[in-house]
């Protein structure tokens, strides 16, 4: 707020943006001291033919390991499915 000429006007503008859902506040994430935490967010648009990432950086998932795994077979099958409608139709044709 210090970089604005009038901090009161800036606060009022910020409040208006929050009231009209133009800005979304994200909670502060706290972890144990010494723990390393990473949070990645991306905005996507899902259209008829494809899913496109509008924001975010490319992430090399091979660089990150989790201590948790998904063990439910149904969820694992869902995760392997493509969100691309054309690919889904191709897969359905292969099955039938």
Between 3 and 11, the more confident residue is 11
The string of pLDDT tens digits covering residues 36-73 is: 777 777 887 776 667 777 887 777 767 877 787 878 88
Distance between CA atoms of residues 65 and 73, nearest Å: 20
The string of pLDDT tens digits covering residues 10-35 is: 888 888 888 988 888 877 777 888 88
Is the CA virtual torsion 21, 23, 25, 26 positive or negative? positive
Where helices occur in 1-95 by DSSP H, the ranges are: 7-19, 73-80, 85-95
User: 10 Å Cβ neighbour count for 74?
Assistant: 8
- Residues in CB range of 71: below 8 A, 6 or more apart: none
């Amino acid at each position: 707020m210090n970089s604005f000429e009038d901090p009161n006007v800036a606060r009022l503008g910020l409040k208006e943006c929050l009231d009209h859902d133009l800005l979304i506040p994200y909670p502060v994430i706290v972890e144990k001291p010494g723990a390393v935490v990473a949070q990645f967010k991306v905005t996507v648009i899902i259209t008829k033919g494809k899913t496109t990432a509008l924001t975010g950086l490319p992430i090399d998932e091979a660089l990150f390991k989790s201590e948790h795994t998904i063990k439910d077979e149904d969820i694992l099958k869902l995760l392997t499915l493509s969100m691309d409608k054309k690919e889904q139709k191709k897969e359905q044709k292969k099955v039938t």
